[in-house]
Amino acid sequence: MVLVFLFVLGLAVGSFLNVCIDRLPKNKKITGRSQCDFCKKKLKPIDLIPVFSFFQLGGKCKYCRKKLSFYYPFVEIVTAVVFVVLWVYLPQSEIQKVFYLGLFATLIGIFFADLKYQIIPDELQITLFIFAFFLIADRGGGVKQLAEHLFSGAIVMLPMYLLHILTKGKGMGFGDVKLSFIIGFLLGITGGFIALYLGFAVGAVIGVGLLMSKKRKWKSKIAFGPFIVIGFISVLLSGQRLIELVREIYRF
Protein backbone atom coordinates (compact mmCIF):
# COMPACT_ATOMS: atom_id res chain seq x y z
CA MET A 1 0.00 0.00 0.00
CA VAL A 2 2.79 2.41 0.91
CA LEU A 3 4.41 1.69 -2.48
CA VAL A 4 1.21 2.53 -4.37
CA PHE A 5 1.03 5.77 -2.41
CA LEU A 6 4.69 6.52 -3.23
CA PHE A 7 4.12 5.80 -6.93
CA VAL A 8 1.15 8.18 -7.11
CA LEU A 9 3.06 10.74 -5.04
CA GLY A 10 5.98 10.37 -7.47
CA LEU A 11 3.68 11.05 -10.44
CA ALA A 12 2.34 14.18 -8.74
CA VAL A 13 5.83 15.40 -7.78
CA GLY A 14 7.01 14.65 -11.34
CA SER A 15 4.14 16.74 -12.66
CA PHE A 16 5.20 19.63 -10.41
CA LEU A 17 8.81 19.14 -11.54
CA ASN A 18 7.67 19.60 -15.16
CA VAL A 19 6.30 22.99 -14.17
CA CYS A 20 9.58 23.90 -12.44
CA ILE A 21 11.67 22.61 -15.37
CA ASP A 22 9.78 24.70 -17.92
CA ARG A 23 9.18 27.87 -15.92
CA LEU A 24 12.13 28.44 -13.56
CA PRO A 25 14.77 28.74 -16.34
CA LYS A 26 12.61 31.47 -17.91
CA ASN A 27 12.11 33.22 -14.55
CA LYS A 28 8.37 32.59 -14.65
CA LYS A 29 6.28 32.03 -11.54
CA ILE A 30 5.52 28.40 -10.73
CA THR A 31 2.02 29.20 -9.51
CA GLY A 32 -0.88 29.42 -11.92
CA ARG A 33 -2.40 26.87 -14.26
CA SER A 34 -0.30 25.23 -16.98
CA GLN A 35 -0.95 26.08 -20.59
CA CYS A 36 -0.27 24.41 -23.92
CA ASP A 37 3.26 25.12 -25.23
CA PHE A 38 1.81 26.02 -28.64
CA CYS A 39 -1.69 27.51 -28.51
CA LYS A 40 -1.19 28.83 -24.91
CA LYS A 41 -4.67 27.65 -23.95
CA LYS A 42 -4.99 27.23 -20.18
CA LEU A 43 -5.40 23.56 -19.35
CA LYS A 44 -8.26 22.24 -17.24
CA PRO A 45 -7.59 19.96 -14.24
CA ILE A 46 -8.83 16.98 -16.28
CA ASP A 47 -6.07 17.69 -18.85
CA LEU A 48 -3.42 17.73 -16.14
CA ILE A 49 -3.66 14.24 -14.66
CA PRO A 50 -0.07 12.93 -14.72
CA VAL A 51 0.73 10.43 -17.49
CA PHE A 52 -2.95 9.52 -17.96
CA SER A 53 -4.00 12.75 -19.71
CA PHE A 54 -1.00 12.60 -22.01
CA PHE A 55 -1.72 9.11 -23.29
CA GLN A 56 -5.48 9.55 -23.29
CA LEU A 57 -5.05 12.45 -25.70
CA GLY A 58 -2.51 10.54 -27.80
CA GLY A 59 0.32 12.89 -26.75
CA LYS A 60 -1.38 15.83 -28.41
CA CYS A 61 -2.90 19.08 -27.16
CA LYS A 62 -6.67 18.71 -26.82
CA TYR A 63 -7.22 22.15 -28.34
CA CYS A 64 -4.69 22.66 -31.14
CA ARG A 65 -3.74 18.98 -31.69
CA LYS A 66 0.01 19.79 -31.78
CA LYS A 67 2.28 17.02 -30.55
CA LEU A 68 3.37 17.58 -26.95
CA SER A 69 6.87 16.91 -25.65
CA PHE A 70 7.42 13.35 -24.49
CA TYR A 71 9.42 14.84 -21.61
CA TYR A 72 6.20 15.43 -19.67
CA PRO A 73 5.06 11.83 -19.04
CA PHE A 74 8.69 10.69 -18.99
CA VAL A 75 9.65 12.95 -16.04
CA GLU A 76 6.50 11.84 -14.18
CA ILE A 77 7.14 8.13 -14.67
CA VAL A 78 10.85 8.44 -13.81
CA THR A 79 10.03 10.29 -10.57
CA ALA A 80 7.40 7.69 -9.59
CA VAL A 81 9.72 4.75 -10.28
CA VAL A 82 12.63 6.42 -8.46
CA PHE A 83 10.43 7.01 -5.39
CA VAL A 84 9.37 3.35 -5.21
CA VAL A 85 12.82 1.91 -5.92
CA LEU A 86 14.54 4.17 -3.36
CA TRP A 87 11.99 3.30 -0.71
CA VAL A 88 12.43 -0.44 -1.27
CA TYR A 89 16.23 -0.55 -1.58
CA LEU A 90 17.62 2.20 0.66
CA PRO A 91 18.86 0.78 3.96
CA GLN A 92 18.40 4.12 5.78
CA SER A 93 15.78 5.04 8.38
CA GLU A 94 12.39 6.24 7.14
CA ILE A 95 13.09 9.90 7.89
CA GLN A 96 16.37 9.63 5.95
CA LYS A 97 14.50 8.00 3.08
CA VAL A 98 12.12 10.97 2.95
CA PHE A 99 15.11 13.32 2.62
CA TYR A 100 16.51 11.08 -0.13
CA LEU A 101 13.20 11.26 -2.05
CA GLY A 102 13.34 15.07 -1.85
CA LEU A 103 16.99 15.08 -2.91
CA PHE A 104 16.36 12.82 -5.91
CA ALA A 105 13.22 14.66 -7.01
CA THR A 106 15.26 17.89 -7.04
CA LEU A 107 18.07 16.18 -8.97
CA ILE A 108 15.55 15.01 -11.60
CA GLY A 109 14.41 18.64 -11.92
CA ILE A 110 18.01 19.86 -12.30
CA PHE A 111 18.81 17.11 -14.81
CA PHE A 112 15.96 17.98 -17.16
CA ALA A 113 16.05 21.78 -16.71
CA ASP A 114 19.72 21.75 -17.73
CA LEU A 115 19.12 19.26 -20.54
CA LYS A 116 16.26 21.30 -22.02
CA TYR A 117 17.43 24.88 -21.38
CA GLN A 118 21.11 24.68 -20.28
CA ILE A 119 20.16 26.38 -17.03
CA ILE A 120 20.18 25.05 -13.47
CA PRO A 121 17.64 27.24 -11.64
CA ASP A 122 18.82 28.67 -8.30
CA GLU A 123 15.54 27.60 -6.69
CA LEU A 124 16.40 23.96 -7.39
CA GLN A 125 19.99 24.42 -6.14
CA ILE A 126 18.71 25.86 -2.87
CA THR A 127 16.16 23.04 -2.49
CA LEU A 128 18.91 20.50 -3.15
CA PHE A 129 21.14 22.13 -0.55
CA ILE A 130 18.32 22.06 2.03
CA PHE A 131 17.76 18.31 1.58
CA ALA A 132 21.52 17.69 1.73
CA PHE A 133 21.63 19.80 4.90
CA PHE A 134 18.82 17.72 6.49
CA LEU A 135 20.62 14.48 5.64
CA ILE A 136 23.82 15.68 7.29
CA ALA A 137 22.05 17.24 10.28
CA ASP A 138 20.20 13.96 10.84
CA ARG A 139 23.53 12.18 11.33
CA GLY A 140 23.87 14.25 14.48
CA GLY A 141 27.45 15.46 14.18
CA GLY A 142 26.61 18.98 15.29
CA VAL A 143 28.15 22.25 14.18
CA LYS A 144 31.68 20.87 13.84
CA GLN A 145 30.61 18.22 11.33
CA LEU A 146 28.54 20.77 9.45
CA ALA A 147 31.56 23.07 9.18
CA GLU A 148 33.63 20.16 7.81
CA HIS A 149 31.02 19.50 5.15
CA LEU A 150 30.88 23.17 4.15
CA PHE A 151 34.67 23.11 3.83
CA SER A 152 34.46 19.97 1.64
CA GLY A 153 31.95 21.74 -0.58
CA ALA A 154 34.30 24.71 -1.01
CA ILE A 155 37.27 22.44 -1.87
CA VAL A 156 35.29 20.43 -4.46
CA MET A 157 33.90 23.63 -5.95
CA LEU A 158 37.30 25.33 -6.31
CA PRO A 159 38.61 23.58 -9.50
CA MET A 160 35.18 23.95 -11.11
CA TYR A 161 35.26 27.66 -10.29
CA LEU A 162 38.73 27.97 -11.84
CA LEU A 163 37.51 26.17 -14.97
CA HIS A 164 34.58 28.58 -15.09
CA ILE A 165 36.95 31.58 -14.93
CA LEU A 166 39.50 30.15 -17.38
CA THR A 167 36.85 29.29 -19.98
CA LYS A 168 35.11 32.64 -19.33
CA GLY A 169 31.93 30.79 -18.45
CA LYS A 170 31.69 29.05 -21.81
CA GLY A 171 33.01 25.63 -20.84
CA MET A 172 31.62 25.55 -17.35
CA GLY A 173 28.51 27.48 -16.38
CA PHE A 174 28.25 29.05 -12.94
CA GLY A 175 25.30 26.72 -12.26
CA ASP A 176 27.69 23.77 -12.51
CA VAL A 177 30.03 25.51 -10.03
CA LYS A 178 27.24 25.93 -7.49
CA LEU A 179 26.08 22.35 -7.99
CA SER A 180 29.60 21.05 -7.37
CA PHE A 181 29.60 22.86 -4.02
CA ILE A 182 26.48 20.95 -2.92
CA ILE A 183 27.99 17.69 -4.15
CA GLY A 184 31.15 18.22 -2.09
CA PHE A 185 29.03 19.37 0.84
CA LEU A 186 27.08 16.09 0.93
CA LEU A 187 29.65 13.57 -0.29
CA GLY A 188 32.84 14.96 1.26
CA ILE A 189 36.06 15.79 -0.59
CA THR A 190 36.95 12.34 -1.99
CA GLY A 191 33.38 11.37 -2.84
CA GLY A 192 32.72 14.79 -4.35
CA PHE A 193 35.75 14.68 -6.65
CA ILE A 194 34.92 11.12 -7.72
CA ALA A 195 31.37 12.24 -8.56
CA LEU A 196 32.75 15.08 -10.72
CA TYR A 197 35.28 12.73 -12.30
CA LEU A 198 32.50 10.26 -13.22
CA GLY A 199 30.49 13.17 -14.60
CA PHE A 200 33.41 14.26 -16.82
CA ALA A 201 34.00 10.64 -17.93
CA VAL A 202 30.36 9.99 -18.86
CA GLY A 203 30.15 13.44 -20.48
CA ALA A 204 33.26 12.75 -22.58
CA VAL A 205 31.95 9.38 -23.78
CA ILE A 206 28.53 10.78 -24.69
CA GLY A 207 30.03 13.96 -26.17
CA VAL A 208 32.32 11.95 -28.47
CA GLY A 209 29.39 9.66 -29.34
CA LEU A 210 27.26 12.66 -30.34
CA LEU A 211 30.11 14.10 -32.42
CA MET A 212 30.64 10.79 -34.21
CA SER A 213 26.97 10.38 -34.94
CA LYS A 214 27.13 14.00 -36.22
CA LYS A 215 24.22 14.96 -33.99
CA ARG A 216 26.35 17.77 -32.52
CA LYS A 217 29.11 19.93 -33.94
CA TRP A 218 32.36 20.77 -32.15
CA LYS A 219 31.20 24.24 -31.23
CA SER A 220 27.71 23.35 -30.06
CA LYS A 221 26.96 23.51 -26.38
CA ILE A 222 26.27 20.38 -24.39
CA ALA A 223 24.83 20.87 -20.93
CA PHE A 224 27.22 19.53 -18.31
CA GLY A 225 24.79 19.49 -15.37
CA PRO A 226 23.10 16.18 -16.30
CA PHE A 227 26.49 14.41 -16.27
CA ILE A 228 27.40 15.81 -12.85
CA VAL A 229 24.00 14.64 -11.61
CA ILE A 230 24.78 11.12 -12.90
CA GLY A 231 28.15 11.17 -11.09
CA PHE A 232 26.51 12.51 -7.94
CA ILE A 233 23.82 9.81 -7.90
CA SER A 234 26.38 7.05 -8.61
CA VAL A 235 28.52 7.96 -5.60
CA LEU A 236 25.49 8.65 -3.41
CA LEU A 237 23.97 5.22 -4.02
CA SER A 238 27.12 3.12 -4.11
CA GLY A 239 28.68 4.96 -1.18
CA GLN A 240 32.04 3.78 0.03
CA ARG A 241 32.27 0.84 -2.42
CA LEU A 242 32.65 3.01 -5.52
CA ILE A 243 35.11 5.33 -3.76
CA GLU A 244 37.27 2.32 -2.82
CA LEU A 245 37.09 0.95 -6.36
CA VAL A 246 38.33 4.23 -7.87
CA ARG A 247 41.04 4.42 -5.17
CA GLU A 248 42.21 0.91 -6.08
CA ILE A 249 42.35 1.71 -9.80
CA TYR A 250 44.33 4.92 -9.33
CA ARG A 251 46.19 3.84 -6.17
CA PHE A 252 45.74 6.87 -3.94
What residues make contact with Zn ion under the rule CB under 5 A?
36, 38-39, 61, 63-64
The Cα 180–Cα 156 span in angstroms is 6
Find, among 74, 84, 82, the residue nearest to 3 by Cα.
84
In the three-class reduction of DSSP (H, G, I as helix; E, B as strand; rest coil), residue 137 is classed as helix
The smaller minimum CB distance to Zn ion, of residues 37 and 148, is found at 37
CB of residue 21 to Zn ion, shortest distance in Å: 19
Mutual angle of helices 94-117 and 2-23, in 10-degree steps: 30
CB of residue 42 to Zn ion, shortest distance in Å: 10
CB 235 within 8 A of CB 242: yes
The smaller minimum CB distance to Zn ion, of residues 60 and 139, is found at 60
The Cα 150–Cα 140 span in angstroms is 15
The smaller minimum CB distance to Zn ion, of residues 20 and 61, is found at 61
In the three-class reduction of DSSP (H, G, I as helix; E, B as strand; rest coil), residue 60 is classed as strand
CB of residue 156 to Zn ion, shortest distance in Å: 44
CB of residue 85 to Zn ion, shortest distance in Å: 34
The smaller minimum CB distance to Zn ion, of residues 65 and 247, is found at 65
